[in-house]
Amino acid sequence: MVDTLDVATLNVWNKAGPWAERLALVRSELAQRAVDVLGLQEVLRFGGAPPGAATCQAWEIAEGLGYHVAFGRAADYGGGLFFGNAVLSRHPLLEERVFELPGKDSGETRSLLYTRLDTPAGALPVFVTHLNWKLHHGAVRLDQVRAIVDTIFSVCPLDEQALPPVLMGDFNAEPDSDEIRFLRGFAVVDGRSVYFADAWVYGADGSPGYTFDRRNHYAALAHEPPRRIDYIFVRGPDRYFRGEPTHTELAFCTSAEGPDGEVWPSDHFGLRARLVVGKRER
Q: Which pLDDT score, from 0 to 100, does residue 221 have? A: 94
Mean pLDDT of 29-46: 95
Of the given ranges (24-28, 178-182, 215-219, 257-261), which has the lowest mean pLDDT? 257-261
> Is it the case that residue 76 has pLDDT exceeding 80?
yes
Q: Which pLDDT score, from 0 to 100, does residue 73 have? A: 97
Q: Where are the beta strands (DSSP E) in 101-165?
A: 111-119, 122-130
Q: Which pLDDT score, from 0 to 100, does residue 239 have? A: 84
Q: What percent of the chain has pLDDT over 90?
A: 87
What's the pLDDT band for 1 if we cut at 50, 70, 90? low
Q: What is the DSSP string of 242-263?
A: TT-EEEEEEES---EEETTEEE
Pair 36, 8: CB distance under 8 Å = no
Q: Which pLDDT score, from 0 to 100, does residue 51 have? A: 80
* Class (C level, CATH) for 4-276: alpha beta
More confident residue, 239 or 125: 125
What's the pLDDT band for 30 if we cut at 50, 70, 90? very high
> Is it the case that residue 182 has pLDDT exceeding 90?
yes
Mean pLDDT of 104-118: 97
Which residue, among 2, 169, 6, has the nearest Cα to 101 in the 3D structure?
169
Q: Which pLDDT score, from 0 to 100, does residue 54 have? A: 87
Q: Which pLDDT score, from 0 to 100, does residue 261 have? A: 85
Pair 88, 40: CB distance under 8 Å = yes
> Is it the case that residue 116 has pLDDT exceeding 80?
yes
Mean pLDDT of 164-183: 98
Q: Where are the beta strands (DSSP E) in the chain?
A: 4-11, 37-46, 68-78, 81-89, 93-100, 111-119, 122-130, 166-170, 196-198, 230-235, 245-251, 256-258, 261-263, 270-276
- Per-residue pLDDT tens over the stretch 188-245: 999 999 999 999 999 888 899 999 999 999 999 999 999 999 999 999 878 888 999 9
**Domain spans of the chain, in order of start:** 4-276
Mean pLDDT of 78-100: 97
Phi, psi of 273 (to 5 degrees): -135, 145
Which residue, among 199, 191, 270, has the nearest Cα to 235 in the 3D structure?
199
- Per-residue pLDDT tens over the stretch 226-235: 999 999 999 9
Mean pLDDT of 7-33: 96
Q: Average pLDDT, whole number, for the chain? A: 95
Q: Which pLDDT score, from 0 to 100, does residue 53 have? A: 86
DSSP 189: B
Mean pLDDT of 34-56: 91
